[in-house]
């Protein structure tokens, strides 16, 4: 967290699960990150959901009088879970446009624990960084050691020559 506290970043994109997970540490991490984002006068950019870790982090930022920018595809906004209290909402045509908009709006990325969508978002911004599409910081919030297997997988990919050491 200290690396983020000393930065000049304005908008932090957080990828997070639409479920709360089964360990209280996951929820606590989302709330604490939300508070830190607001305390540092940063804005949260996220997937606009009101449930799971997504909803918890948005609520924490809003409760601390922070700005929350949600980006959601139209089919989810009408079908599902759009958080009603967001500072800004961007409704996109599809998931691809959503991710591009989130990246455009953000100065850094953090992945909280989550499922397949969170993994996909995290790996996409990692790939974009590797390809030189952006040079924004990317981090994993490893609450309750959730991301240990992912870190091990990335280390394995480096060790076996599929990822260059300078990329992860």
State yes or no: pLDDT of 2 exceeds 50. Answer: no
State yes or no: pLDDT of 93 exceeds 90. Answer: yes
pTM above 0.75, yes or no: yes
If pLDDT is split at 50, 70 and 90, which confidence band does 143 have?
very high
Measure the CA–CA gap between 110 and 100, rounded to whole angstroms: 16
pLDDT for residue 8: 61
Percent of the chain with pLDDT over 90: 87
pLDDT for residue 99: 96
State yes or no: pLDDT of 165 exceeds 90. Answer: no
CB-based contact 153:126 (threshold 8 Å): no
Measure the CA–CA gap between 120 and 74, rounded to whole angstroms: 19
Closest to 140 measured CA to CA, from 158, 153, 131: 153
Percent helix, strand and coil across the chain, each rounded to 5? 45, 20, 35
Domains of the chain by start residue, with CATH? 2-159 (3.40.50.450)
Measure the CA–CA gap between 72 and 94, rounded to whole angstroms: 8
- Which tens digits make up the pLDDT trace of 41-59? 999 999 999 999 999 999 9
pLDDT for residue 23: 97
- Which tens digits make up the pLDDT trace of 120-133? 999 999 999 999 99
CB-based contact 38:152 (threshold 8 Å): no
CB-based contact 122:115 (threshold 8 Å): no
- Which tens digits make up the pLDDT trace of 55-75? 999 999 999 999 999 999 998
């Amino acid at each position: 967290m200290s690396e983020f506290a000393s930065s000049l970043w304005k908008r932090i994109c957080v990828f997070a699960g639409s479920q709360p997970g089964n360990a209280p540490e996951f929820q606590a991490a989302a709330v604490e990150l939300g508070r830190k984002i607001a305390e540092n006068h940063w804005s949260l950019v996220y997937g606009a959901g009101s449930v799971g870790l997504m909803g918890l982090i948005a609520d924490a930022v809003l409760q601390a009088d922070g700005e929350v920018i949600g980006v959601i595809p139209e089919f989810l906004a009408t079908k599902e879970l759009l958080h009603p209290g967001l500072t800004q909402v961007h409704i996109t045509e599809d998931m691809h446009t959503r991710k591009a908009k989130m990246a455009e709006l953000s100065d850094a990325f953090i992945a909280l624990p989550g499922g397949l969508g969170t993994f996909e978002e995290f790996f996409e911004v990692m790939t974009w960084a590797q390809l030189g599409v952006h040079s924004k910081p990317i981090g994993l919030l490893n609450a309750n050691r959730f991301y240990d297997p992912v870190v091990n997988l990335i280390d394995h990919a480096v060790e076996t020559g599929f990822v260059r050491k300078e990329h992860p």
